[in-house]
Structure formats: C-alpha cells, structure tokens
C-alpha cells in the first residue's frame, strides 16, 4: 500500500540489513542496474563478497530496496592505515526519504570507526558525487563528509562529467 505521493506507508514496517552473499549477488546486480548508470564488472562483485561489513543490502518489509558497497584501499607508506572508498550507495526511488540510505551509511561509518581486531585502521572514507547531484551532496554533508576537491571530467561518459570527491577523516595523521 502506498500514500498519495507513491511512497510506501511507514506506519508498520520492518527494515533490516543483510550480508551480500553468492546467493543474493543477483539481487545486488539488479539493484545496481536500476540505481546507477554504470555497468559494474565481475571483479567488482567478486570484491564485494570479500569486504564483510562494508557491503550490505537493505530490506524493507523483506524486499531488497537498496545497498552499499565499499572497498578498502591501502594508504601509501602505511601498514597500519587503510582508506575506505564508497563505490555505491543507493535506495530505490519509492523507498527514499525513509532513512534507509542513512541506515546504510551509518552502518558503514560505525564499522569504519571500530578498532580493527586485526589489520589496519580506517583512516578516512571517501566517494565521488556528480557536481549537479545536490541531493547526494547534502546527504553526505549531513553525515559529516566534506568536499575535498573537484575532479574535472571524472565521469567522461556523462553529460555532467565533473565530480566532487567527498571525504570523512576518521584518523588524524599518525
């Protein structure tokens, strides 16, 4: 059932995060096809299976409606720090503005801030957003990300090709 503005009713709903596994990888691929104008490679999906808490699907009343996928990157000259790149974060249009994107991002931030049981700490999180995507820019700023730089022609295949690199620093220089 939906409200007049075609959004799902929010009176009684269940929201849950799920791991990305080989069994639901097809759902993630279908979601990304709808959400993003980029075709992701087989290696992207293989890597998603290996990042643990940094790749999640979100369910709304048991329906897969969004996901986040990150990758860890080594910091040059450090064996104790890594960066976390948010490659994708999206929620299907009818389920936006229900806090689902925030739930996904907050999960990633919380896990990035945890002291690692083994391996390097996450020094910063970052991502790219097209310069005209004001909704995404405000969303990430609300969660503590700042514009670090403008990347000209970052998306050469799109009409709006420039992007901002947004980042959230978690560990000051050690």
Percentage of the chain exceeding pLDDT 70:
93
Q: Is 165 within a domain?
A: yes
Q: Is 8 within a domain?
A: no
Tell whether the torsion through CA atoms of 75, 137, 100 and 170 is positive or negative. Answer: positive
What is the model's pTM?
Answer: 0.89
Q: Examine the residue annotation and report whether 107 is marked as an active-site residue of this protein.
A: no
Q: Exactly one of 40, 59, 85, 155 is catalytic; name it.
A: 85
Q: Exactly one of 107, 128, 143, 155 is catalytic; name it.
A: 128
Among residues 50, 54, 171, 56, the alpha carbon closest in space to that of 115 is found at 171
pLDDT digit string (tens) for 109-161?
999 998 877 778 999 999 999 999 999 999 999 999 999 999 999 998 888 89
pLDDT, the chain, mean: 91
C-alpha 33/C-alpha 64 separation (Å) is 14
pLDDT digit string (tens) for 94-110?
999 999 999 999 999 99
Domain limits at 113? 15-169
Q: What is the CATH number of the domain that holds 24?
A: 3.40.630.30
Q: Is 101 within a domain?
A: yes
pLDDT digit string (tens) for 24-83?
999 999 999 999 888 899 999 999 999 999 999 999 999 999 999 999 999 998 889 999
The alpha carbon of residue 159 and the mean position of all alpha carbons in its chain are separated, in whole angstroms, by 23
Q: Is 147 within a domain?
A: yes
Q: Is 3 within a domain?
A: no
C-alpha 10/C-alpha 112 separation (Å) is 29
Q: Examine the residue annotation and report whether 128 is marked as an active-site residue of this protein.
A: yes
Structural domains of the chain, count: 1
Q: Is 156 within a domain?
A: yes
């Amino acid at each position: 059932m939906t409200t007049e503005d075609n959004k799902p009713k929010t009176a009684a709903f269940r929201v849950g995060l799920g791991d990305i596994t080989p069994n639901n990888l097809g759902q993630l691929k279908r979601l990304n096809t709808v959400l993003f104008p980029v075709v992701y490679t087989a290696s992207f999906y293989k890597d998603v299976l290996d990042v643990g808490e940094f790749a999640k699907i979100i369910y709304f009343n048991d329906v897969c409606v969004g996901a986040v996928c990150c990758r860890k990157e080594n910091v040059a000259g450090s064996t104790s720090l890594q960066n976390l790149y948010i490659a994708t974060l999206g929620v299907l249009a009818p389920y936006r503005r229900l806090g689902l994107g925030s739930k996904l991002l907050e999960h990633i931030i919380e896990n990035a801030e945890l002291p690692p049981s083994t391996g390097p700490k996450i020094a910063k999180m970052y991502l790219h957003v097209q310069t005209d995507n004001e909704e995404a820019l405000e969303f990430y700023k609300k969660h503590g990300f700042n514009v670090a730089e403008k990347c000209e022609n970052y998306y050469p295949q799109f009409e709006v090709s420039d992007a901002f690199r947004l980042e959230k620093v978690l560990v000051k220089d050690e």
